[in-house]
Chains A and B, each alone.
Chain A
Amino acid sequence: MMEKRLKNLRKTMDREVFAQLKFTAEHKNRIRDKIKQETHNDAEILIAIMQLLVQEKTGYQLVSLLQSRGILNFKENEGSLYVILHSLELKGVLKSSWQEDDAKFYQLNKQGRKLLKKLEKQPLSNHLSFKEILEG
């Protein structure tokens, strides 16, 4: 009985769902990227972002610089960088200014430079999240 039902389900799935699902080259590439991608933990990413923001930069400039540093966490996910930038700004470690063409520039402030020094000095545990680092 159960057997038969499962078989039916499989048939329907084959007919309805999988028929529409195509494994495109894009999917293939994405999976390859993910495999190749070195994983960086939150602490490493945060330090990299802060180091790059010693000089004023926009989110767009930051994404490409992070990628050239081998941090690919923001590939196909560039929007999430702004989540980090906004929370750093609210934490009071970044200052920002709007310039021409709606470009928003970020830079470490005094407090931010202090935090960066602290983070660079002490080796961070791999399992800390952004939030824990910022709170601590």
Chain B
Amino acid sequence: MDKQRNSFLEQVKSQIKSKEAKAFVSSELHHHLNEVKAYWLQKGLSEDQAEEKAVNQMGNPISIGQSLNRIHRPKVDWVTLMLFAAALLLGFLPMLSQGYMSGNHFSTYKVVFVIMGGMIALGMMFIDYRKFANKGWLFYILGILFLLFFTRHFHTVIEGQAILKIGFLKIEGLMAIPFFLLAWAGFFQSNRFKMWKFLLLFVLSLYFFLQFDITTLFIYVTVTFTMIWWSKLKKKSIWIVLGSISALVVTWGVIGWMTVAYYQKYRVLSFLNPYNSEYLTSQFGLLKIHHLFMEAGWFGKHSFADQFIPQAHTNFVFLSFTYYYGWLFAAILLLVLSLIALRIIFIVRNMNDTYSKLLLVGVIMIYMVQLVGNVGMMAGFFPMTNMSLPFISYGFMPILLNAFLIGIVLSVYRRKNLLPSNKLSSN
């Protein structure tokens, strides 16, 4: 009896690529067929006749299926993908400039990192991020466990950064950020999430983050404090809570100032007053940076700068890059990196559901803090810290973290046209 209906629905579904779309289109059409059939039964038709009528009234299953597929097919965000590839390729330039490409293990590692980054981003694209929406707790616990494990087991501390080495991969505290991104996005999208839960969870996580470098802490706090504005919590209570936290931090800072060691004061003062020669005698400071930057000119010096630029391929990669390739290339590099951020902002503006928005807002913040922070270090409005330039700084972390972010964007974009249906999540 259901044969005609099933073959109709199968034909519609055969034209639709997306699994989710198949499911909700099929149940919607099922309902329609039931209603039409009920109408004809009431008019006195037999069961079979009514069924046939209902199916015939629907029209051509193939053309309906094709049109629906055009609306619901999974999409690849080529713009982000191209910018991502461009950024990864630009990441090879600093290596060339420093003569590392000739038979050095650095270049092999770099290639491996880039390939792994690409695989992570593409792999993430195929994962349905919406499955994570109600798993905020899972990611929170994983994040905390990671931090806990990390504080117990890190091997070396390099320039104030705890690092865990697995083979040639260096794992940093920064790796905890993705867990907390997914955790907060999951918490904030829920209607039942309360402010006291936020405070409790935030303070607990802060306790662990405080044991790491200031960069990770800074990224974590900025991202969380931005994402909360897209949560379902009341705006007024967010103002009050964030306000009082800031007030606490300022008081703590004032009290702390009287007790900290000299070199810590030195760091802060040299940031606040970078051109004061007293603070520049021993360190690689802003004056030197600006001098090198101006020296580069439009087309660069084409000479290796790692003798006089410390951390020339990590923290100061933008400087050594500019020094070698010149302002023009530096501008192109900045343009590509900024376009990635702009693209994500453009995508988030067209999103309707809270969870996708929260995730993308978090992604934008993590990315922007790195970009603005790293360039800001050279411009002088950001303190000298371990902030890497996304995709460009040498190392596994800058690529891994940002490839993960790109992966989230691709995953969200891919499913942006799959209607957020409460029905699918409930069964």
Contact = CB atoms under 8 A, between A and B. Distances in A.
A78 B421 contact: no
Contacts, number: 71
A87 B71 contact: yes
What is the size category of the interface that chain A forms with chain B?
20 to 34
Contacts of A58: 31-32, 35
A90 B64 contact: no
A79 B68 CA distance: 10
A72 to B, nearest CB: 12
Contacts of B35: 58, 60
15 contacts: A60-B32, A76-B56, A76-B57, A76-B59, A78-B36, A78-B59, A79-B64, A83-B68, A86-B419, A87-B71, A90-B71, A96-B421, A97-B422, A98-B422, A104-B24
B32 A90 contact: no
A82 to B, nearest CB: 6
Contacts of A101: 31, 34
A55 B223 CA distance: 40
A98 B421 contact: yes
Contact of B59 (A77, A97, A102): A77
Interface in A50-83: 58-60, 75-80, 82-83
Given A78-B59, A90-B71, A102-B423, 16 more contacts: A75-B57, A77-B59, A79-B58, A79-B60, A80-B63, A80-B64, A82-B29, A83-B71, A86-B68, A87-B71, A90-B419, A92-B352, A98-B421, A101-B34, A102-B28, A102-B30
A102 B35 CA distance: 11
A92 B349 CA distance: 12
Contact of B419 (A96, A102, A103): A96
B336 interface: no
Contacts of B57: 75-76, 78
Contacts of A83: 64, 67-68, 71
A98 B59 contact: no
Interface string B6-40: 00000010000000000011011111101110000
Interface string A2-23: 0000000000000000000000
A89 interface: yes
A104 B71 contact: no
What is the size category of the interface that chain B forms with chain A?
20 to 34
A62 to B, nearest CB: 10
Interface in A85-118: 86-87, 89-90, 92, 96-98, 101-104
Interface string A27-65: 000000000000000000000000000000011100000
Contacts of B419: 86, 89-90, 96
Nearest to A85: B28
A34 B36 CA distance: 21
Contacts of B417: 90
Contact of B67 (A80, A90, A104): A80
A98 B423 contact: yes
Nearest to B64: A79
A32 B359 CA distance: 55
* Top 7 A-B residue pairs of the complex, sorted by shortest distance between their CB atoms: A77-B59, A98-B423, A79-B64, A60-B35, A83-B67, A102-B27, A79-B58
A60 B12 contact: no
